[in-house]
Amino acid sequence: MSQQFPGSLIERSFRERIVLVGVALPGTELEEVDAGLDELALLVDTAGADVVARVVQRRDRPDPATFVGRGKAEELAEVSRTVDADTVVFDEELTPAQQRNLEGILGRTAIDRTAVILDIFAQNARTPEGKAQVELALLRYRLPRLRGRGHALSQQAGGIGTRGPGETQLEVDRRRLVRRMHRLESDLAQVGRTRGVQRRARSRSRFRELALVGYTNAGKSTLLNRLTGAGVLTENRLFSTLDPRTRQLALPGGETVLVTDTVGFVRKLPHQLVEAFHSTLQSIALADLVVHIVDGSASDPEGQMAAVRSVLAEIGAAEIPELLVINKVDRTPEAARLVAKHEGAVCISALSGEGIDGFLRAVADRVRLSDRVVRLVIPYARGDVLAAVHREGEVVEQEPGPDATTLTVLLDEAGRARFSEFVAAS
């Protein structure tokens, strides 16, 4: 846990002992709650703590004061004392008031799933942009949870007409956090503008863009390494990669595309993170094809697909064409059955390379749905047109002739219309 942020949500000096709490509300089955707690246990382990107990409750509605009700909160306090727990983690998001009330009853820290995910992101942020995004998300989470200590911390003003309680330490802290948030938002806006310039340069190159998306630990970074030799960090843990990386990839047929590896998604991904990582996630919204990687060995791959598509809808990427890729076919026969259920899906093993050739052919076919290879005959006297073709499309082959050069070019519909007078006769 090398990445340190002020006021860490989970203690770093030792492995905390954690009690997990899940609540089955109307419309939620106990199996779903158990699956959510299983994933929360993985998140807690990734954050560097140990789960020592789990508690599940059925409720008609969340209690406004404590989410679980006073009686259940007191029962949780007894369980926590019995197992000597340091912290109680709830699978649902707590309001600041619920968190304060629970800590008063439990006599120990109470946090929610959002806090755990933010903590993991804080540990894994490596680049200046990633650190700024995570810090902004943390501050947005902490701002409504600031706690004052009454007039004991008031700053007494001096002078006639100015005496009184003055400004409390709570107000000072809040203003300091708001200032820091504004600074981070400004810095990230500048990063977003820089990315916009880079994207416009890419669009002028006419390279198609692919975005690798998927549930955390589905194998996106492993696939990027397999395809491009990118050397991206791959670990069997959640959220090991936060910062996007873009690499070129040559497809069968000679086309070149840009492939971007993005941050992994998870159920109930905190809205603070989606907002803070806006500039990063924009690479998905602007892609020509979303390559949705699914862990075929997961206990609930369909649920993971739904969680990913929910985030895609939130960032405005739901309408982008999707290629479903079932990964880890070498681990389970379920992968093949998943492919059969989803028309057009392919199965691979990013680790062993199995199925990669078929995957590349599928990507090339999807890309060619919007592009088409044409042959253009351009006179040498029209150097301006030749230069424009190189800007607008991807030249696959060039054959010089006595009076003109013949180009085999990959052009989209607009490019084909622009250069229609130079199309070679069939």
On whether residue 330 sits in a domain, the answer given is yes
Q: Which of 55, 87, 121 is the C-terminal boundary of a domain?
A: 121
Q: Around 62, how many Cα atoms within 13 Å sit in the side-chain half-sphere?
A: 13
Q: Do 355 and 223 share a structural domain?
A: yes
Question: What is the pLDDT averaged over residues 306-319?
Answer: 88
Are 238 and 345 within one domain?
Answer: yes
Are residues 301 and 411 both part of a single domain? no
Measure CA 153 to chain center. Answer: 40
Q: What is the pLDDT of residue 160?
A: 44
What is the side-by-side order of every strand in the sheet holding 404-412? 371-379, 404-412, 394-400
One-letter amino acid for residue 236 of the chain: N
The model's pLDDT over 72-87, given as tens digits with 9 standing for 90+, comes to 999 999 999 999 999 9
The verdict on 259 and 289 lying in the same domain is: yes
pLDDT at position 163 over 80: no
Residues 6+ apart with CB under 8 A from 396: 253, 254, 255, 373, 408, 409, 410
Percent of the chain at pLDDT > 70 equals 84
282: pLDDT strictly greater than 80: no
Could you tell me which residues come within 8 angstroms of residue 170 by beta carbon, excluding any fewer than 6 positions away?
A: 146, 147, 148, 149, 153
Residue pLDDT, tens place only, 320-355: 889 999 999 888 777 778 888 898 899 999 989 999
Domain boundary among 88, 121, 154: 121
Provide the pLDDT for residue 324. 95
In a domain, 254, yes or no: yes
Whether residue 165 is contained in a domain is answered as: no
- Statement to judge: residues 347 and 375 lie in one domain: no
* Rounded average pLDDT over 186-205: 70
CA dihedral in degrees (121, 127, 130, 132; nearest 10)? 110
Selected residue with higher pLDDT from 153 and 17: 17
More reliable by pLDDT, 255 or 232: 255
Q: How confident is the model at residue 426 (pLDDT cuts 50, 70, 90)?
A: low
Task: Give the pLDDT confidence score for residue 263 in this predicted structure.
Answer: 80
Q: Which two tokens stand for residue 234?
A: 């791959």
Nearest Cα neighbor of 423 from 412, 413, 408 is 408
Q: How far apart are CA 410 and CA 389, in angstroms?
A: 10
**pTM as predicted:** 0.73
pLDDT in tens, 381-395: 888 988 888 887 778
Segment among 178-187, 193-202, 279-288, 308-317 with least mean pLDDT: 193-202
Per-residue pLDDT tens digits for 16-46: 999 999 999 998 889 889 989 999 999 999 8
Asked if the structure places residue 212 within a domain, the reply is yes
Domain boundary among 99, 121, 143: 121
Nearest to 67 by CA among 105, 39, 31, 34: 105
Q: Are residues 286 and 228 in the same domain?
A: yes
pLDDT of 418 over the 70 cut: yes
Question: The CATH number of the domain where 300 resides is what?
Answer: 3.40.50.300
- Whether residue 66 is found in the same domain as residue 117: yes
CATH number for the domain including 91? 3.40.50.11060
Lowest mean pLDDT among 89-103, 257-271, 274-288: 274-288
Q: Give me the residues paired with residue 249 across strands.
A: 257
359 & 215 share domain:
yes
**Whether residue 388 sits in one domain with residue 336:** no
* pLDDT for the residue 96: 92
In the predicted model, is pLDDT for residue 158 greater than 50? no
Give the per-residue pLDDT at 202. 55
How far apart CA 88 and CA 129 sit, in angstroms, is: 31
| Residue-level pLDDT at 8 | 55
Tell me what percent of the residues of the chain surpass a pLDDT of 90: 34
Residue 209 and residue 110 share a domain: no
330 within 8 A of 221, measured Cβ to Cβ: no
| Neighbour tally for 390: CB within 10 Å | 15
Does a structural domain hold residue 127? no
**Do 223 and 289 sit in the same domain of this protein?**
yes
Any domain includes 283: yes
Mean pLDDT of the chain: 83
| 275 and 343 together in one domain | yes
For residue 36, what are the domain limits?
17-121
Confidence of residue 159 (pLDDT cuts 50, 70, 90): very low
Asked whether residue 81 is domain-assigned, the answer is yes
In a domain, 265, yes or no: yes
Name the domain count of the chain: 3
Residues sharing a CB contact under 8 Å with residue 389, sequence separation 6 or more, in sequence order: 376, 378, 395, 407, 409, 419
